[in-house]
Chain A
Amino acid sequence: MSRRHAWLVHLLWIAPLAAFVGSLFVGRYPLSLASLFQGFGEGSTSLAGSILWRVRVPRAVAAGLVGANLGLTGALFQGVFRNPLVDSRILGVSSGAAFGAALALLVGSPAAVQGGAFLFGLAAVGLLLLLGARFGFSPLALVVTGVLVGAFFSSLLGLVTYVADPLRTLPAITFWLLGGLGGTRWSDLLPVAAVSAPGLLVLLSLRWRLNLLSLSDAEAGALGVNTRVFRPLAVAAGTLLVSASVSISGMIGWVGLIVPHVGRAIVGSDQAKLLPASAALGATTLLVLDAIARSVLPGEIPLGVLTGIVGVPAFLAVLRVFLRRRGEAR
């Protein structure tokens, strides 16, 4: 397996960089290569520089960061819950964040959307861990609790949309829910990066040990790992990342589900390799999709819509490969 895919692994590390740089060349405003390079050096003193440094670069950074988060947490949760059909939405964090954002919009404070989303995302996680503790944080209990927490916040979200003023608030909520990185500024990125950094650090350093969570609790215990502590720790770190991402990007699904499967096809199931690979793939995917979302039409195409439209056929393809692989075993 490794020999065949060796070149793919190299591609894995180049792809996000290439996508990042490539996305800077794309956008609604037609910029020639020359003016782009010029703008690179000029900063905000010229229009090209403004567009580059104030619009495209922060957006690309956001797309890369959010994509990496989504890919990595997708791989993490699939391993922790031993379920290949899981992505970051399973734990109800996104629903909590959506409610928080909608609440901020309802109250009439668009500046508080990011903070509100993050706060309620964390609240959802807190609720999840609190309830999960009663069941010893078993994977099944966490999934079921996650679904319940998600349903709870979704209902609250429904209430907010019902009460929202259809002229101003409701369209804002709807668009936020569809997911997108429009209007991202440098100042929006700072809190996201600040929160993502510790989460990423924790998960990437523990990445080999995370494999042990894919074993049964008995096996892991026999290998000296206390799953009752380790699992909630991993879940908490992951949901921190999800919360941070959702707070600027809204609801983006599918990326966390599909990217780990593609990653597995390239580097195998070892989380030590899979987590970084999924992060790289996720970043690449979102960079490409966001570049499309903001340049193809005059209006922004919601990212959540794009990932769905692209994601479903991609998922079907992945499913075929996955099932074929399983068919090989007996």
Chain B
Amino acid sequence: MRLEAAGVRFAYRKGEDVLRGVSFAVEEGEVLFVLGPNGCGKTTLLECLAGIRRPTAGAVLLDGVDLHALAARERARRIGLVPQLHEPAFPYSVTEMVLLGRAPYLRTLARPGPEDRREAERALEVVGIAPLSDRSFTTLSGGERQLVLIARGLTQGAGVLLLDEPDAHLDPFYQARVLGVARELSRAGVSVVLSTHDPTSALSHADRVLFLVRGEASPAAAPTEAITEATLKAAYGVPFSVLQGEDGARAVALRPQNVPY
């Protein structure tokens, strides 16, 4: 599935544009990383891409069709949103959490049936957390919870998965695991759009990267082109170095001097 943002503008209040004409496309099976400073509109962008916010101008197109021309249920079957981690109010079990992803497939008065349960189990397998299915969500670590939410996105049967800062608050093990899962999904044909604060992970996991700074998006490009010392300085306002190790591993590091307070 091809997801395209065409000149998307969004404002919460009139005259205060959060997104100023963002345009890009994500091809089938591609992983796009969205980098940018806090408050630049990454979450808003993802919500527009998911169709839960309506752009004030421009459109989001899925295989050429305007998202808002589709019914909410149809949208939900094609695009999955994996939100930032937050503390849930009640202790649902992992399976119950993942089953919620079947909502777009169930009639209003229906409850999940055996087929839905199979889908949920499959999703848990793909993400690699099947042993956790009976655990209570609130007893899981942050990394495990993130994987559960990704599994839920999968049960939606979505062709496009949007992940909002999935690696935030995670230790390196789970960071790697979450991003690894995203890559695997893309190999299976799912398009992935992922927002993050970590340019290093973009270097190793993205197909293409774009910067969202003050509501404006840079053109999406391959990581080596998109992530340079210049673009990083422009985005975050502090100097970075892009480093390369002998084995080819690449990283972004903050330059020690002249960090403004």
Contacts and interface: CB of A to CB of B under 8 A. Distances in A.
Contacts of B64: none
A222 B79 contact: yes
B249 interface: no
Contact of B100 (A211, A221, A328): A211
Interface string B72-93: 1111110111010010111111
Given A269-B90, A269-B91, A329 B50 contact: no
Contacts of A269: 90-93, 96
Contacts of B17: none
A329 B76 contact: no
B69 interface: no
Contacts of A84: 89-90
6 contacts: A208-B110, A212-B100, A216-B86, A222-B51, A222-B83, A224-B74
Contacts of B141: 330
Interface residues of B, number: 40
Interface in A211-238: 211-212, 214-219, 221-226
Closest 3 CB pairs of A and B: A224-B76, A221-B52, A222-B81
A182 interface: no
B88 A224 contact: no
Contacts of B96: 211, 268-270
Contacts of A155: none
Interface of A: 1-2, 78-79, 82-84, 205-209, 211-212, 214-219, 221-226, 264, 268-270, 272, 325-326, 328-330
A210 B219 CA distance: 41
B171 to A, nearest CB: 13
B233 interface: no
Contacts of A218: 47, 50, 52, 81, 83
A91 B146 CA distance: 34
Contact of A222 (B52, B110, B136, B138): B52
Contacts of A264: 90-91
B208 to A, nearest CB: 23
Contacts of A205: 109
B103 interface: yes
A14 B110 CA distance: 26
A205 B86 CA distance: 29
A325 B92 CA distance: 12
Contacts of B73: 224
A228 to B, nearest CB: 11
A224 B110 contact: no
A82 B89 contact: yes
Interface string B81-119: 101001011111100100011011010111110000000
Nearest to B111: A208
Contact of B138 (A206, A217, A329): A329
A76 B9 CA distance: 37
Given A211-B96, A268-B96, A221 B104 contact: no
Contacts of B79: 222
A296 to B, nearest CB: 36
Nearest to A226: B72
A214 B89 contact: yes
Contacts of B104: 223-224
B139 A328 contact: yes
A131 B88 CA distance: 27
Contacts of B75: 224
B21 to A, nearest CB: 23
A74 to B, nearest CB: 13
Given A206-B109, A208-B111, A329-B139, A223 B156 contact: yes
B140 interface: yes
Contacts of A268: 91-93, 96
A219 B81 contact: yes
A178 B104 CA distance: 45
